[in-house]
Amino acid sequence: MTEVPALDPGFIAQLLPFDPFDPAFLADPYPVYAAIREKGPVTRTPLGLWAVTGHEVSSAVLRDPRFGWGDGATVADHFRTAADGSVVRPFIFADPPEHTRIRALVGKAFAARQVDRMRATAERIVRELIEAARAEAGDGPIDLMAAVAHPLPGRMQNALLGVPEGYAARFDELSADIARGLDPSFLLTPEEVARRDQARAELYGYIGELAEQRRTDPGTDLISELVSAEEGGEQLTPDELEVTCTLLLSAGYATTVNLIGNGMLALLRAPEQRDWLRAHPDQVSAAVEEMLRFDAPVQMISRTALAEAEIAGQLVQPGDQVMLMIGAANHDPAVYDDPERLQLDRRTTRNLGFGLGPHFCVGAPLARLTAQAAVSALSALDLELVTESPARVPNIIMRGLAELPVRVVD
């Protein structure tokens, strides 16, 4: 188990340019981002962390091969020690050529044309979830997070994996514990780290069992494709497959859950935008892109300088840590007119919600398709918020809601 340092407010205040424990920041970080951005697109904290808030600079760093993961010290909590003592990294925390090799294998299974075959499945599951929630709630409120945002991505991923639907609830629990653990360990309690590690170990084992089954009895699911996928004569090792699937699925699950939740909250707070979407249901894809920009599930991406580089006039040395504040970049007024306003017909679509460059989110097609199905169905209902300020999950990497209670207005 990972050794977790005690939460040290003094250390955190010197490392980060914001207070991650401030309730006001958790509720609405964008005014804080704007204040940091006013100091320039790149600032440095007392402990030497480079904080990037500008869209142009963030985009450049994400594309620049001089920035990557290096020795992986900042994300080593997500590595696995194999039986032979070797360290196995999830490919999303690896640099070329390791990242290139594994991404090529995984990318085949997550290609947009492959995922698009699941659109009808997503629409069916959303209908079933909404019908069940309305029947259970009667005239009472419905928590959209519990009723739709959480179970939908889990059931979609189970369909993708070929997992029996009976495992969906357990998968939700494991993914939530792993997603909470995506925050740096110094922001987590020992109990949260223990839950993350235990959940990850259980999911490793389950995916390993599925992979063994698919080697002898392959199907048309993702695990079968990854077991048989080959690139340049190479295949994923069993450890690589388990590590890759575990983090990919849990991170993808959390991203999609929070894209749906954050997006629907923003939509319900902007009735004129909901009216626009109802009048233009064929524009749900554009609507989801704007929701992704407006309140991104992934708020920050870290990088390590692998070589000396200059960003926005600042000289960055090898080994320096760079924090790309994606939420701030997606609200950069140099790129977006009136960035604090949800505008579903916005023409500028260069948001960084799924990253950019070689590490662009490989699961983006599935996340988009799933969110589109949810937003399309939910926006057609007459919903009203029970509270204007629903509770947030206390994460800084993944921004999401603990609940989203609504009423259906007949």
- Which tens digits make up the pLDDT trace of 218-258? 888 888 888 887 666 678 888 888 888 887 778 888 999 99
Q: Select from 242, 282, 306, 280 the least CA-distant residue to 90.
A: 242
More confident residue, 220 or 33: 33
Q: Which residues neighbour 174 within 8 Å (Cβ) at sequence distance 6 or greater? A: 199, 200, 202, 203, 250
pLDDT in the model for residue 50: 97
Instruction: Map out the domains of the chain as residue ranges.
Output: 28-75+91-408
Place of tokens 């003592």: 85
- Mean pLDDT is highest, among 57-66, 116-125, 387-396, for 57-66
Q: 28-75+91-408: which CATH topology?
A: Cytochrome p450 (1.10.630)
Residue 3: per-residue pLDDT: 45
Q: Give me the pLDDT at residue 232, please.
A: 61
Q: What are phi and psi of 21, to 5 degrees?
A: -100, 0
Residue 125: pLDDT over 90 = yes
DSSP notation for 6-28: PP-HHHHHHH-SS-TT-HHHHH-
Task: Of 386, 409, 373, give the one whose Cα is nearest residue 143.
Answer: 386
* 196 pLDDT more than 90: no
Better pLDDT: 167 or 206: 206
Taking all residues of the chain, what is their mean pLDDT, rounded to a whole number?
A: 88
Q: What is the mean pLDDT of residues 24-34?
A: 95
Distance CA 295, CA 342 (A): 9
Q: Which range has the top average pLDDT, 4-18, 107-121, 124-138, 177-191?
A: 124-138
Strands (E), 255-396: 300-305, 309-311, 314-316, 321-325, 383-385
- Encoding tokens for residue 160? 């993708």
- Per-residue pLDDT tens digits for 293-309: 999 999 999 999 999 99
| Residue 348: Cβ within 10 Å count | 14
334, 330, 310: which is closest to 320 by C-alpha? Answer: 310
What's the rounded Cα separation, in Å, for the pair 366 and 73? Answer: 30
Tell me if 211 sits within 8 A of 227, measured CB to CB: yes
| Residue 79: per-residue pLDDT | 65
Is 7 a residue whose pLDDT tops 90? no
Is 0.85 topped by the overall pTM? yes
